[in-house]
């Protein structure tokens, strides 16, 4: 739960920065994952632990939060080590390796920050 709107914006700034740094090639996917963690759940960005006031705060910043929901859904929930990602059974299950995770992260970064990357 957030202490304030300033706290939420600080968290989102940090998360955005990690996404951009990785998408720009300034850190490996593994470094990104270690630092990024699972903030959507950790900070309850979906409002599952929030009162009405905090849900309203989250709603005001829904667009910024959406990036991190998509990172969770489209990358973090699916990623496994590269060797396993190359196995047919893992591919059929929709799992991805760090190489595909990095590609997807770049796509999301370009969508949400169109002017930030070359």
Residue 85 lies in a domain: yes
Cβ atoms 18, 35 nearer than 8 A: yes
Whole-number pLDDT of residue 92: 93
Residue 55 lies in a domain: yes
Residue among 47, 108, 49, 50 nearest 76 (CA)? 108
- Give the residue numbers spanning the domain of 16: 5-112
Whole-number pLDDT of residue 111: 96
Whole-number pLDDT of residue 41: 86
Residue 118 lies in a domain: no
* Count of structural domains, the chain: 1
Whole-number pLDDT of residue 47: 87
Residue 25 lies in a domain: yes
Residue 17 lies in a domain: yes
Query: Tens of pLDDT along the chain (118 residues)?
Result: 577 899 999 999 999 999 999 999 999 999 999 999 999 888 889 888 888 999 999 999 999 999 999 999 999 999 999 999 999 999 999 999 999 999 999 999 999 999 988 7
Per residue in 19-53, is it b (16+ CB within 10 Å) or e — as a string? bbebbeeebebeebbeebeebbeebebebeebeee
Residue among 118, 105, 117 nearest 33 (CA)? 105
């Amino acid at each position: 739960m957030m202490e304030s709107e300033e706290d939420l914006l600080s968290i989102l700034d940090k998360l955005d920065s990690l996404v951009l740094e990785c998408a720009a090639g300034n850190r490996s996917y593994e470094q990104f994952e270690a630092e990024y963690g699972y903030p959507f759940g950790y900070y309850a960005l979906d409002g599952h632990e929030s009162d009405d006031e905090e849900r309203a705060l989250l709603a005001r910043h829904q667009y910024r939060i959406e990036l991190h929901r998509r990172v969770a859904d489209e990358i973090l929930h699916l990623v496994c080590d590269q060797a396993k990602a190359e196995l047919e059974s893992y591919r059929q299950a929709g799992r991805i390796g760090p190489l595909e995770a990095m590609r997807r992260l770049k796509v999301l970064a370009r969508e949400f920050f169109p002017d930030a990357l070359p």
